[in-house]
Chains A and B, each alone.
Chain A
Amino acid sequence: MSSDNSESLRFSRSLYRQDAIEQAAAAFAACGSFDVRSDGEDIVVEIANLHPKIAEKVVDEFRNHALYGTILADRGVTPAAGGS
Chain B
Amino acid sequence: MENVPEGEAPEASGQVELSYELGERRVTFNIDEDLYARDAIYGAAYLFVDRAWIFLDRPSDRYVSVQLRSKSEADEAALTALAGEFANELLNQVLRTRIGASTARIREYYFAKAFFTEPDRSGIDALLAELDAEEMEEDPLEIEVPWETAPAAGAAEGTE
Point out residues on A near B: beta carbons under 8 Å.
12, 14-16, 41, 60-61, 63-64, 67-68, 70-71, 74-75, 84
- Are B54 and A67 in touch, CB under 8 angstroms? yes
Instruction: Specify which chain A residues have a CB less than 8 angstroms from the CB of B46 in the assembled complex.
Output: 68, 71
Q: How far is the CB of B115 from chain A (nearest CB, A)?
A: 20
Instruction: Specify which chain B residues have a CB less than 8 angstroms from the CB of A60 in the assembled complex.
Output: 53, 69
With contacts defined as CB atoms under 8 Å apart, how many contacts are there between chain A and chain B in the complex? 35
Point out residues on B near A: beta carbons under 8 Å.
38-39, 42, 45-46, 49, 53-58, 64, 69
- Are A15 and B58 in touch, CB under 8 angstroms? yes
Q: How far is the CB of A15 from chain B (nearest CB, A)?
A: 5
Q: What is the bound-complex CA distance between A60 and B53, given in angstroms?
A: 6
* Nearest B-chain residue to A75, judged by Cβ: B42
**24 pairs, A vs B, C-beta closer than 8 Å:** A12-B56, A12-B57, A15-B38, A15-B57, A15-B64, A41-B58, A60-B53, A60-B69, A63-B53, A63-B54, A64-B49, A64-B53, A64-B54, A67-B45, A67-B54, A67-B55, A67-B56, A68-B46, A70-B42, A71-B42, A71-B45, A71-B46, A74-B39, A84-B49
Q: How far is the CB of B82 from chain A (nearest CB, A)?
A: 15
Q: What is the bound-complex CA distance between A14 and B86, given in angstroms?
A: 21
Instruction: Specify which chain B residues have a CB less than 8 angstroms from the CB of A15 in the assembled complex.
Output: 38, 56-58, 64
- Are A67 and B69 in touch, CB under 8 angstroms? no
Instruction: Specify which chain B residues have a CB less than 8 angstroms from the CB of A64 in the assembled complex.
Output: 49, 53-54
* Nearest A-chain residue to B43, judged by Cβ: A71
Instruction: Specify which chain A residues have a CB less than 8 angstroms from the CB of B64 in the assembled complex.
Output: 15
In the A-B complex, the 8 residue pairs with the smallest Cβ-Cβ separation, listed nearest first, are A60-B53, A12-B58, A15-B56, A71-B42, A63-B55, A71-B46, A64-B53, A68-B49
Q: What is the bound-complex CA distance between A68 and B50, given in angstroms?
A: 10
Q: What is the bound-complex CA distance between A74 and B43, given in angstroms?
A: 11
Instruction: Specify which chain B residues have a CB less than 8 angstroms from the CB of A70 in the assembled complex.
Output: 42
Q: What is the bound-complex CA distance between A16 and B53, given in angstroms?
A: 15
